[in-house]
Each structure stands twice: as structure tokens, then as C-alpha cells.
A = this chain, B = another copy of it.
Amino acid sequence: MDDLLTRLRAGLPSEALLTDPDVTASYAHDMASFCDAGTPAVVVLPSTVEQVRHVMRTATALRVPVVPQGARTGLSGAANASDGAIVLSLVRMDRILEISPVDRIAVVEPGVVNAVLSRAVGEHGLYYPPDPSSWEMCTIGGNIGTASGGLCCVKYGVTAEYVLGLDVVLADGRLLSTGRRTAKGVAGYDLTRLFVGSEGTLGIVVRAVLALRPQPPRQLVLAAEFPSAASACEAVCAVMERGHTPSLVELMDRTTVRAVNRLGRMGLPESTEALLLAAFDTPDPAADLAAVGELCTAAGATQVVPAEDAAESEMLLKARRMSLTALEAVKSATMIDDVCVPRSRLAAMLDGTAAIAAKYDLTIGVCAHAGDGNTHPVVCFDHTDPGESRRARESFDEIMALGLELGGTITGEHGVGVLKKEWLARELGPVGLELQRGIKRTFDPLGILNPGKLF
């Protein structure tokens, strides 16, 4: 331990090294519930690539595990510390190095906050789409590590589609440059994409070249009330089948609507079984919303209300964005699931989740990126009640089993981390798992990078 600190100090300024146990303890967790976390030996906050390389060389020399962290807003425990580990926080590497409107790229350090980047590129008429709910806090490095999604994905895709190239410090401190700053490129295996979603298990991202788009027109939102989840899903399928390209298609169930009203006094309609939000950022969003409104009515919507202006649209999005937080206030504890199914199976997923809630006698609120088939069932329970806690865990697992049965995945955007690592093996199967472990060994033969995560 003394040796570790002495060696780290040799290449880090003193303010980049935290050892006070009360302080380092505050770096132990991300925002996932019920995921184990250990006690880190030290927290380092490098501000240069060379300092990161020094940390990794030290970790390799002493065989000390390293847990990379961004803003710790993750929901799967991927950034949780392990005992005796170096917690490597990238938040001080927060410079936007370049924004090029001609090449439509930005070059950033990993600690740049998503919203800061979004605003900065907006000033150049550009748009960085990925928008996880935590976008005001989460970092680009964390977004890359977990392959974050958000509300935009139904039209604009996920973080992976915006990462063109990376500089990565490897486990042994060597520096790897992957990918490109060009629009296209096929020189060799796509290592860039391999790092996206790898949850810090393959290397430390210290620089990213991101693709940007031109800023679209401001989106206009429509809210539609449905008498059942199934009818709302029917509307979603009809919208996509007819070839519409909404910029957002979100669903909140009755539990979520009520929780949001309770938290935020939002005045959402509490009698609805499913509230659907759809938006367009097209040249004529009102016309597109009118067409979608008709499809909603045909699918059984009892009420269809287009927002009158940008302010009303923003209010509806705010309601949607606070859903997870609102559901967390329903009971003393929550487990947030992230199952994604083909959108044609969304109704089956939602009905099945309701059946699971009834079977286990639990409150499970669901909000969903419905256009993507990506549901967030939130199991609300009293963690001081052992029986209810056990039932919560069982229902959480049963929801994932249902997702796999419907041709889906256990995680659409939150990642595996600690929370779902047993389930990853189930989704991948033995052949896939063996190859994934082989890749891990290729990049991290000593197994010091974020051990105990993913696998």
C-alpha cells in the first residue's frame, strides 16, 4: 500500500491523489442499487494522458486493480470500487479540444459532461444526439464506457454510432489510437467499437473523436392517453410501420404518471393506463404529429394533445426525464431494469411485466423508450422487508427472462456492470462468452481493469 502510494506520487501532482478514507469512500458507488462495492485503496484524478499512463504502469507493476469512473451516474454498478483498487476518476480531463463544423466532429477528453458538449456544439449549429436522462451530469467517457442511449435513439441511434476514434491507455500504460477522424474507414478490425460499452474492462479512454450532426429544428411533442399498454404499443407499431421518423417515442404507465405528478406537480392525466409521448423535429412537425395523432386515435387513444409550443413540449419531456427519479420515491428502494425487445413484442413485454408485478404482489412502474422497444420496469419495494426484497429480486430476474424469451436483450442501454453479470452469460451463451473472455485476455492479460464487472 505504501509502495503503491509512493509510486503513484512519483507521477501525479499531490492534489490528484486522494487517500482520506472518508473521501475515498464517496467514490465507492455509482447510482445502481444493490450492487456490491469494495473499499478503494486510493482515488486518483489525473488531468493529463501522461498521468493516466503513469497510473496504469504503476497498477501493472504492482498488479493492483483499477476502476475507471466518470460522473458515477451509471445504473449497473460498472463504476463501483473493488477492495484495494485504484479508483481512476477521469472527471478532471474535461477539455473540449476541437469542434469542426466542416468535418462535423468534436474531439474531447473523457471527463466532458454530456450537456456541456451538447451546448458547445450547439453554438456551432451542430448536434450531439446521445442524451441519457443524466445528461446534465454524466460524462462522455462514461457514456462511451456504457454505450449510453437516451430519448433520441429512435431517430438518432446510440452513443456507439457517434464514436469515430479513440485514444486509449492500455492496462500496461501503452497508448493506443483507434479509428479515425474521417467519415468512413475500414482499416482492420473495429477496435473503436469494441471499447464502446466495454465498461472500462479493456482500457482507459483518454480522448474521443465524436461524430456530430447538423442541429435539427426544435422538436414538437404530442401526448396521447391510452386505455391499455397494449393499445399504446399498437399505436407505436403503426407509427413505425407507416414509415414515420419521430425524434422520440416514449411511454409512461399509470404508476409512472402518478409518481411524476407526486414528485413534480406536473398535472399529467392520472386516469390513463399508458401515456405516450411522440415528437418530431422535421421541417413540418405539426403535420407529422397530426398524422401520428390519427394513428393513436385509431389504436384506441382516448385523448390526443399536441403541445402548442416549445415550452409545452419541454414540460412533457421534463416529466418523462424525471420518471426514474419519481419512481425511486414510491417506496424505500428500487431495482431498475433495462430490457429491450423488438418493438413488435413491446405489448407482450409490458403485459408480461404487469403479470409479474401481480404474481409477486409488487409495484412495478414502467417507463419505456417505446419506439426502440426499450423498457425500464422499475421494481419498487421496501428494502427493510426481507420477503418483499426477495420478491423484488425474483421479479427483476423474471423480467429479464421474459425479455430474452421475446427475442430481446437484458440491457438496451444501462449496461451489465455488477447488476446483470450472471445474466450476461445467459444471453451470450457459452460460445459467445468464451470469445468475449478471450478478447478481455488479449487487452488485459493480468485482469487488472475493472475486475468483477461484465463477466
Contact = CB atoms under 8 A, between A and B. Distances in A.
A194 B197 contact: no
A214 interface: yes
Given A102-B237, A189-B194, A442-B442, A340 B432 contact: no
A185 B435 contact: no
Interface in A183-197: 183-191, 193-194, 196-197
A12 interface: no
A170 to B, nearest CB: 7
A102 B240 CA distance: 6
A385 interface: no
A243 interface: yes
Contact of A174 (B161, B177, B431): B431
Interface in A367-426: 369, 371-374, 407-416, 424
A160 interface: yes
A439 B369 CA distance: 34
B154 A183 contact: yes
Given A182-B342, A184-B373, A188-B427, 13 more contacts: A102-B241, A125-B243, A149-B184, A153-B184, A180-B340, A183-B340, A186-B197, A188-B432, A189-B198, A189-B439, A193-B193, A194-B194, A282-B283
Interface of A: 100-105, 125-126, 146-147, 149, 153-154, 157-158, 160-161, 170, 174-178, 180-191, 193-194, 196-198, 202, 214-215, 237, 240-241, 243-245, 282-284, 340-344, 369, 371-374, 407-416, 424, 427-429, 431-432, 435-436, 438-443, 454
